[in-house]
Amino acid sequence: MITFQNVSKYYESETILRNISFSAQKGEMLFITGPTGAGKSTLLKLLYLSEYPDEGDIVIGDFHLASLKPSWIPLLRRNIGVVFQDFKLINNLSVFDNVALALRVKGRSERDIKDAVFDALKKVHLRQKANSYPRKLSGGEMQRAAIARAIVSEPLFILADEPTGNLDSNTTVDIMRLFLDINIQGTTILIATHNRELFRHSGKRVLRLDRGVMTEEGGG
Amino acid sequence: MALPYSFKSAFQSLCREKWINALSIFTVASSLLIITLISLFLYNIDIAAKGLPERFSMVAYLKDNLTKEQTQEIISSLDRKNEIVHLKYISKDEAMQELKQALTESIALLEGLEENPLTPSIEIRLQEEIVKSAYVKRLAEEIKKIPGIDNVYYGEEIAETVYLLKRSVQNMSMIIFVSVTSGIVFVIYSSVNILFYRRRSEIEIIALLGATGGFIRTPFIIEGGFIGFAGGILGALGALAFYFGITYNISAIMPMLGALIFPIEILFLLPVAGSILGITGSIIAVGRLRL
């Protein structure tokens, strides 16, 4: 489903990612770990096309990112769910509208949107907060709203960049359970985190990045 | 399906950024009001200038002692000219009558005259389109060559003034129209740019969700169009208030202003023009932005 083929990324003279090659299969849950500044976020940015590789190619399904036309970028992004450490919710939109936005960009009808959004909010246990605004939510609730937005369009895979970085330990456990539930239902998930507790007992594959070089750690 | 979202998003932004938008609407309204008032002024000048050729006439003075047949021959040869729309023969006696009417208070000046010193003449009215100095001058030269005609008088300055006034009105209208409409487009361009940068993080999120450029840009184009439309309505109301202010108040002091003609179409044209300029300004703004 996702294949990195000898991907390198440089910022000026600094090497951020060096000759990265790995694959993630459909339905897999994969952790990318490493210290701050190791290149985890950059690797995810390459997947959601916020950055472009300087060398190598990334293959997502049938898309080769090295030769992707710029006009196809929105199309590809619609099939990727992204969850950020800082949630990236739009403050002046309700939880419902934040989640609905992922479907509105696809041009879905309002009736379909309503059903799908309430379904997604139910999955993340946030249905009762549909009309609330992000400022009125706790950190855990905001992240659950962001996860609902990521899953509502039934993407090919979900990318999570330090999804529990701003959360307390109890909420972290809740959010990780949520990711495991989503993964069990068949969605591929890549989680970038420096917090080893998240995958220690998960039994999932772990890739370690250090100074731009990737090594495989194996299951926790 | 994205259009309801675009309208909702545009109107949310209009409410959220009310000060920037109110200021833009006010600026557009003021600019459109300036255009309207100047156009109103120019329109009235144009109407007045159009009336001048109607009043413009040329007078051909005939030689004394012409026979009736010779006079008729002159009238016929003038009548054959296409540029002339109306001829009026004024005999010596009629000329004296007109002079007496004109000199009501100084009639004593004429009392000592033993014979009528005035000559018969023909008053000539020309087609409005040809009342341009060069044309009138050439025609006067032609008429002068007709046997029996002594001299031709025409208001050279009037003809010149009419022509210059018309050209000045056209040029001024064009300069004002271009500069103020460019100003309006620039105001909306700048406002949309500001609004765009204030929503930059929101736009980044929408782009990450897979929004196309059109999806992101449409609310800003709607917003720009609305700013122009609202500015147009305000401008039209301002122009109406100005007109009634003049009609009911200032014309009492300056009666000539009471004769101002106000084309009512302006009230509908301004919001349409405002919307078009607003949409143009915002299309330029969002077209130049990198998403």
The ipTM assigned to this model is 0.88
- Superfamily assignment of A1-79+188-220 in CATH? P-loop containing nucleotide triphosphate hydrolases (3.40.50.300)
Closest chain A CA to residue B200: A90
Is the CB of A74 less than 8 angstroms away from the CB of B12?
A: no
**Cβ–Cβ contact B15 with A under 8 A:** no
pLDDT at A63: 86
Beta strand A63-64 pairing with B149-154? unpaired
- Dihedral Cα B163, B165, B167, B168, nearest 10 deg: 160
- Mutating which of A101, A133, A147 best tests the B interface, going by the most B Cβ atoms within 10 A? A101
Total-model pTM: 0.74
Q: What is the pLDDT of residues B194-236, one digit of tens each?
A: 999 998 999 999 999 999 999 999 999 999 999 999 999 999 9
Is the CB of B210 less than 8 angstroms away from the CB of A109?
A: no
pLDDT at B54: 61
pLDDT at A47: 93
Domain range list for chain A: 1-79+188-220
Q: What is the pLDDT of residues B5-29, one digit of tens each?
A: 889 889 988 998 889 999 999 999 9
Is it the case that residue B253 has pLDDT exceeding 70?
no
Phi-psi label, residue B227: left if phi above 0, alpha if psi -120 to 50, beta otherwise: alpha
Q: What is the DSSP letter of B63?
A: P
Average pLDDT over residues B129-146: 78
| Residue B166 to residues A4, B107, B231, Cα–Cα distance (Å) | 74, 39, 30
Is the CB of B206 less than 8 angstroms away from the CB of A101?
A: yes
In contact, B116 and B124? CB cutoff 8 Å? no
CB pairs below 8 Å between A and B: how many?
49
Residues of B in contact with A104 (CB under 8 A): 1-2, 5
Burial class (CB in 10 A: 0-12, 13-18, 19+), A69: exposed
Show the low-confidence residues of chain A (pLDDT under 50): 220
**Cβ–Cβ contact B205 with A under 8 A:** yes
pLDDT at A20: 93
Of chain B, the end-to-end C-alpha distance in Å amounts to: 22
> How close is the nearest chain B Cα to the Cα of A49, in Å?
9
Using pLDDT thresholds of 50, 70 and 90, give the confidence band for residue B256.
low
Mean pLDDT, rounded, of chain B: 83
Closest chain B CA to residue A51: B208
> How close is the nearest chain B Cα to the Cα of A129, in Å?
21
Is the CB of B1 less than 8 angstroms away from the CB of A109?
A: yes
Instruction: Taking the CA atoms of B60, B65, B71 and B77 in sequence, report the sign of the dihedral they define.
Output: negative
Instruction: Taking the CA atoms of B39, B40, B43 and B49 in sequence, report the sign of the dihedral they define.
Output: negative
pLDDT at B111: 72
State the Cα–Cα distance between residues A156 and A69, nearest whole angstrom.
19
